[in-house]
Structure 1
Amino acid sequence: MGKIMTYEDLHFFGIKVVYKNLIDNGFEVLNVRKELDVNPQILARKKEEMYFVVVRTAAYPEMGILTPDVASKVTLHALRHKAICRFASVGVANANGETEEQMGKPETGGEFYINFNGLMPFPQ
């Protein structure tokens, strides 16, 4: 069994998943911040519109959650910059896990099942 991903490892892995999705969908990624206490994680542009993307990642069976305090802070920041806010919730499972418990422990450098349903508008 390999090294279990830390929360920081999971967070950065989720950012990479979302980054690739943005590029694949025609976004120009302008900045990426992987620090846990910095929001938004990704600043992107598409068709002259700015996007602030908050990424949250969790291990199976959980999904990343956007807390109301982060949503309100990013929304205020986005208003000043005329940016559109989006939330990316990512779930990561250990693809080699044979039990629910093992699937909930993704390993660094391992194989994964990724649950990501795209960018979602911020809750109003």
Structure 2
Amino acid sequence: MRALTEQELHNLAMNTVGKELEEDGYEFMAVNSTLKKNPQFVCLKEGKLHFIVVRAVSYPNDPTRFDINLMGTIKEHAQKHNARAYYAGVGLINPVDYNAPVQLNEEYIVRYEGLVEV
């Protein structure tokens, strides 16, 4: 058994958000799963462009809190493209010990409260 890497946690978060976007009718224009490359999703919905930044967040950090400077930059970039900017924080938690890392091939808890427009 081993802890998931930062990239693996990021991929889980991307999958969580991607499923929601798909279910909500977003059309994927670009997907970037590389860590620290933003935004992760560029989507179209109802003729409007959306830039979405995804972050995997470990306990005890709050997945609804985001880096204001980063999201300000993303918002400016989005406005230049007549797009809307969103943050999607996904909390990933080890259910046996909240302070332990999420383990490969083990259960985990997801805390995701949806997109936050910035």
**Which TM-score applies when normalising by structure 2?**
0.89
Q: How does 1:36-115 map to 2 (within 5 A)?
A: 36-64=35-63, 65-95=65-95, 97=96, 99-102=97-100, 105-115=101-111
Alignment match, 1:18: 17
In structure 2, C-alpha distance between the alignment counterparts of 1:48 and 1:18, rounded to whole Å:
20
- 1:85 maps to a residue whose letter is A
Secondary structure, counterpart of 2:74 in structure 1:
helix
Instruction: Find runs of 4+ consecutive structure 1 residues off by over 6 angstroms.
Output: none
In structure 2, C-alpha distance between the alignment counterparts of 1:13 and 1:119, rounded to whole Å:
16
Secondary structure, counterpart of 1:101 in structure 2:
coil
In structure 1, C-alpha distance between the alignment counterparts of 2:31 and 2:3, rounded to whole Å:
24
In structure 2, C-alpha distance between the alignment counterparts of 1:66 and 1:54, rounded to whole Å:
10
Deviations for 1:68-90, whole angstroms, at most 9, x for unmatched residues? Answer: 22112111111111110111011
The runs of 5 or more residues in structure 2 that have no matched partner are none
Q: Which moved more, 1:16-25 or 1:64-73?
A: 64-73
- 1:101 maps to a residue whose letter is N
Paired residues of 1:19 and 1:29 also in contact (CA < 8 A): no
Secondary structure, counterpart of 1:106 in structure 2:
coil
Deviations for 1:1-46, whole angstroms, at most 9, x for unmatched residues? Answer: x210122211121111100110011111221111122111111111
- Cα RMSD, aligned residues only: 1.4
State, as a whole percentage, how many aligned pairs show the same letter.
26
Superposed displacement of residue 93, structure 1: 1.2
In structure 1, C-alpha distance between the alignment counterparts of 2:45 and 2:87, rounded to whole Å:
16
In structure 2, C-alpha distance between the alignment counterparts of 1:50 and 1:100, rounded to whole Å:
37
Superposed displacement of residue 114, structure 1: 0.4
Secondary structure, counterpart of 1:100 in structure 2:
coil
Q: Report the count of equivalent residues.
A: 117
